[in-house]
Amino acid sequence: MKPMRCPICDTPMPGNWQDYPDYPFCSKRCRTIDLGRWLNEEYRIVEAAPEEDRPPLPPPDEQE
């Protein structure tokens, strides 16, 4: 059975996952980094949304 590795810093994590309170990360620091990346990705998606992708506004109703 090959040892687990931290997905953030690639540190080998021998033993059982139960030994790691921050599993699947090796430490609280890596957990925080992962969370930060995830949040940054979310923000980037929102900010990068081109205006063309927004649904067009309905035409103004000029009839009376």
Evaluate whether 17 touches 23 at the Cβ level (below 8 Å): yes
Q: How far is the CB of 3 from Zn ion (least distance, A)?
A: 13
30 near Zn ion (CB under 5 A): yes
Q: Among all chains, which residue has been given the structure tokens 């992962």? A: 34
**3-state SS of the chain: helix, strand, coil percent to 5?**
40, 5, 50
The verdict on whether residue 27 carries a ligand-binding annotation is: no
Note whether 26 binds Zn ion by CB under 5 A.
yes
Beta carbon nearer to Zn ion, 19 or 51? 19
Instruction: Give 32 or 40: the residue with its C-beta nearer to Zn ion.
Output: 32
